[in-house]
Amino acid sequence: MNNELSVGPIGVFDSGFGGLSILREMRRVLPQYDYLFLGDNARAPYGVRSFELVYQFTLQAVKHLFAAGCPLVILACNTASAKALRSIQQRDLPQLDATRRVLGVIRPTVERVGELSRTGHIGVFGTPGTIQSGSYDIEITKLHPSFKVFGHACPMWVPLVEYRESDGPGADYFVRKDINALLAQDPDIDTVILGCTHYPLLLDKISRYMPAGIHIVAQGGIVAESLAEYLRRHPEMASRCTTGGTCRYLTTDDPDRFAEMASVFTGEPVTAEREQIV
Ligand code: DGL
């Protein structure tokens, strides 16, 4: 890959639609930048896939966004952040282009829980892949060695969102069941992280069934604020992110279906283009 300093949009990647909940907040906090969103809808969900596959798919997506000129890529997917980010940052980036950056969503989220929790007992909802990786546990206890972390995988939540059932009665059933299962692990959990970018679409129901007094941490605003702070601290990177205020959407699956679903996440009409990323 050509190592001349790239200049272009901020790349935002997710396995499917979930990353749009992060992108929406980024565009609210940093509307001046151009964004290029890539959803690997043809191969979603990632949450039930092996470490090796999530890594391979995520690396392909990063290379694709780099080839499109993105100097900075945000993995707006917890599963990809949990299973692929570290390898890409440490092993691949130095060879691909050491001047570009790939950032994830777990670290910025974890940095906020210290401010919220009084008991230091943190619950995490995520895909099976994110929960099995132990990434939240590792990152939280790095920052707060005395904290205790309780994870619970919610394999039905992503399909509920992807199939537009997040407002239906099936969602009530699974949200209540999974909240009960998480809280049954420990009576002192006072902060619960929604560790999957799809889950904000279930926020109404999660808020309805979560007992009062428990903080629910959704990531969009946190990741957007953290990106703004990153760009303030790295003006050399900020100057490489173009500022036309545009947003393009790429999907590996049917662009019309993507556009229809994406508008549910973004609250505005979306047009999408199909891309092959293999
Ligand atoms: N949105 C992804 C995440 O944040 C998960 C969706 C999937 O399973 O592909 O983990």
Per-residue pLDDT of 52-92, as tens digits, reads 999 999 999 999 999 999 999 999 999 999 999 999 999 99
Among 46, 81, 131, which residue has the most ligand 1 atoms within 8 Å of its CB, making it the best to mutate?
Answer: 46
Q: Angle at CA 176, nearest 5°, toward 175 and 179?
A: 85
Stated as kind and residue range, the H or E segment containing 258 is helix 255-266
Where do runs of H (alpha helix) occur along 39-83?
51-67, 78-83
d(CA 67, CA 89): 17
Q: Give the number of domains in the chain.
A: 2
Among 20, 107, 197, which residue has the most ligand 1 atoms within 8 Å of its CB, making it the best to mutate?
Answer: 197
d(CA 90, CA 14): 20
Beta strands in 10-64 (DSSP E): 10-14, 35-39
Task: State whether 115 and 91 are in the same domain.
Answer: no
DSSP single-letter state for residue 8: B
- pLDDT band at residue 194, thresholds of 50, 70 and 90? very high
pLDDT at 182: 98
CA 30 remoteness from chain centre: 17
pLDDT at 164: 86
d(CA 173, CA 40): 28
Average pLDDT over residues 20-31: 96
Count other C-beta atoms under 10 Å from residue 7's C-beta. Answer: 12
Q: Is residue 15 part of a domain?
A: yes
Task: State whether 131 and 196 are in the same domain.
Answer: yes
pLDDT at 216: 97
Active site residue 70: no
Q: Is residue 5 part of a domain?
A: no
Of 163 and 25, the structure prediction assigns the larger pLDDT to: 25
Average pLDDT over residues 215-227: 97
DSSP single-letter state for residue 155: T
* Cβ atoms of 82 and 51 closer than 8 Å: no
Domain of residue 73 covers 10-104+221-274
pTM tops 0.85:
yes
Cis bond upstream, residue 45 (ω within 30): yes
Stated as kind and residue range, the H or E segment containing 272 is strand 272-274
d(CA 82, CA 3): 27
Active site residue 247: no
Q: Is residue 206 part of a domain?
A: yes
